[in-house]
Structure 1
Amino acid sequence: MNFVMDAHIALVGLPGSGKSTIGRYLARRWSVPFVDVDAAIEEQIHCSIREFFAKEGEARFRAVEQDVMEQLLAKPIKMIIATGGGAVLKSENRAQLAAHSRVVYLSASPHEIARRLQKDTQRPLLQVDNPLQRLLDLHGVRDPLYREVAEFVVVGTGLSATQVAQRVAMQLELGASS
């Protein structure tokens, strides 16, 4: 199938839900650019997000994140965008995503994500004594926001990254041909 993107495709979900992995897969499949918002932020701030969080705090980080997302979503070349896990917290970001992209929520259970990320040291919000509880708390707050902005939800619990990516691709390709 020759899928033509008519809008950016934005992936949302908890940290560790597979947004970057799935985004790279989709970009290769459709020969379009891929951008990881967190990587674009680090390029702009010239340090790691973890360092920036420690120095400037979450509120300042969210402001930079909003600016970077606005810049990306305004680009005329359609791309796959892996958002940061908390991008949906700001209503301005949700409005931008809804206006300029097709949004896919990559849903995975906090328990599975905790297992996947048990050795991760880069995600600032998960550098706590009980990462599973933090993920459960984040899920409670963010799940309704992901669902609010998403065109559709792909549940990845128990699936490989390739299986999730294929499901996302199928949904988008079917949606484009209807």
Structure 2
Amino acid sequence: MEQMHADSAAGDAGHDGPTDADPRNQVLQALGERVRQLRARRGLTRRGLAVSAEVSERHLANLEYGTGNVSILVLHQIAQALQCSMAELLGDVTTSSAEWLLIRELLEGRSEDDLRRVRVAAGELLGTAPSGDQHRHSRIALIGLRGAGKSTLAKMLADDLGVPFIELNREIETLAGCSVREIYDLYGVSGYRRYERRALEETVQIYADVVIATPGGIVSDPATFNELLSHCTTVWVRAQPEEHMSRVIAQGDTRPMAANPEAMEDLRRILAGREEFYAKSDHVLDTSGQTLEQSFARLKSLVAT
């Protein structure tokens, strides 16, 4: 910790750092943006990442804004806290083999629609495509941020269809033998993600007909999200950030605003960081400005198609 603070102080006080016109400054800014994107995708506040990585919040802020040099040690700690490789943190995970380089060259510059078709085709080739599971249409999973109404709507849909309702966080707690909060405290984010993947796999194996309410961060782990997309019909339950926050508070949880005055900005950043992943769902249900009855009627029509 002393070395990290020393590095930060040196970066702040030194006069040999890159200027705005220096190409090195662009590298630092690109790195900072990458850290912000990864942090948002994993649903971490800057304070939370700083604590997890054992880096000062001021040092992390300097890194994210591209205003200070950073040591390899600090980058390693941040990569560990974000559950990614150093290569991914630096934005070049595709340099590990000749095949990666050739695949990257084929895909570079392609549209999102082209990339989606390639992903589905690769799934067909590797046996993980959605069409490979005949029960996919009868397993319905609701995804999205907390406060969108996933659990309530999922329970209503399960009752209406006469099938089991599974709240994945409850299954995770059963597997771990403790609460979600205790899982984070004992095993960290990576431990929670391992339980999340196992809970989803077991749910898919046990149930051919089910409605699942998933945790908001399930899209943060590509392997788990691929599993979900392959075996479940997914519905992104979305709402405006203000509605997300107001619904959480209405449920009696005032911690987001009380503990963090920048909670709304963090929420917007998390949503922006995950939006591309949520958008991979089969259907989108926008509950903004809708009554529960209106949202449920729309949900039923979506999954009936």
TM-score (norm 1): 0.86
Say whether the 8 Å CA contact 1:7–1:100 is kept in structure 2. Answer: no
Aligned counterpart for 2:179 among listed residues 28, 45, 48 = 48
Structural mapping, 1:152-171, within 5 Å: 152-171=283-302
Aligned partner of 1:114 in structure 2 is 245
Using CA pairs under 8 Å that are at least 6 residues apart, name the structure with larger relative contact order, 1 or 2: 1
Offset of residue 111 of structure 1: 1.0
Structure with greater strand percent: 1
Offset of residue 132 of structure 1: 1.8
Residue 89 (structure 1) aligned with residue 226 (structure 2): no
The one-letter amino acid paired with 2:204 is L
The one-letter amino acid paired with 1:72 is T
Aligned partner of 1:63 in structure 2 is 194
Give the superposed CA RMSD: 2.1
Say whether the 8 Å CA contact 2:167–2:214 is kept in structure 1. Answer: yes
Say which is worse superposed, 63-72 or 131-140, in terms of deviation: 131-140
State how far apart, in whole Å, the 2-side matches of 1:69 and 1:78 are. 14
Aligned residues: 168
Aligned partner of 1:20 in structure 2 is 151
**Structure number, greater radius of gyration:** 2
Aligned partner of 2:138 in structure 1 is 7
Say whether the 8 Å CA contact 1:73–1:96 is kept in structure 2. Answer: no
The one-letter amino acid paired with 2:233 is R
Offset of residue 54 of structure 1: 2.2
TM-score (norm 2): 0.52
Residue 29 (structure 1) aligned with residue 173 (structure 2): no
State how far apart, in whole Å, the 2-side matches of 1:115 and 1:74 are. 36
Aligned partner of 2:275 in structure 1 is 143
Say whether the 8 Å CA contact 1:126–1:134 is kept in structure 2. Answer: no
Percent identity of equivalent pairs = 28
Aligned partner of 2:265 in structure 1 is 133
Give structure 1 stretches of 5+ with no counterpart: none
